[in-house]
Structure 1
Amino acid sequence: MSDITEETLNTILPLEILDKSIGKEIQVLMSNDKEFYGTLIGFDDFVNIVLENVKESDGSGSSDKVIKKMLLNGGQISMLVPKI
């Protein structure tokens, strides 16, 4: 019998959650209080992420402008909220 416990089997790593979120809507909160809402289409090990059909919000409400594709620097990301 192996040393794998049920708790080990239920462990999900952060990058696994991002991987499962590809193609889905995600909310990104930045360290400068801006928020972006869009579809996650890719990311790397540094959590630099690529979004498409992005709407930006700076706390005063969402803008009507939609950005077709956007690359966000992982070092400036405070929180990612996937809609799983």
Structure 2
Amino acid sequence: MSEEIVEQPILPLEIIDKSVGNKVKVLMTSDKEFYGKLIGFDDYVNMVLEDVVEIDNEGTKSDPVKKMLLNGGHVAMIIPDVVA
């Protein structure tokens, strides 16, 4: 009798947890984009980023911000391991 391999589903917060300490791209509902190192987050996906750069719709980068708190209620998408 062969053993069937069952893949366990990966929950969204698990993926975010694995991204802590790595660069992420965060797309906001307001069409803003932020790139930075994910330092931490909570159950509401409020997150703290470090060395953050904002990129506008024209591709212009802002000066880096040392630390930033993003409101999880305005986060549309998180893309792990990106290069800004």
TM-score normalised to structure 1 length: 0.86
Aligned length: 78
Deviation per CA, 1:36-80: give whole Å up to 9, x if none: 000000000000010000000121113240000000000001100
Which residue of structure 1 lines up, in the alignment, with residue 18 of structure 2?
20
RMSD: 1.4
1:6 alignment partner AA: V
Counterpart secondary structure, 1:6: coil
Aligned-residue sequence identity (percent) comes to 58
Indicate if the aligned counterparts of 1:55 and 1:62 stay in contact, CA closer than 8 A. Answer: no
Corresponding letter in the other structure for 1:69 = K
**Partner of residue 70, structure 1:** 68
Q: Name stretches of at least 5 consecutive residues in structure 2 with no aligned partner.
A: none
2:55 is the counterpart of 1:57: yes
Gaps of 5+ in 1: none
The TM-score with structure 2 as length reference comes to 0.86
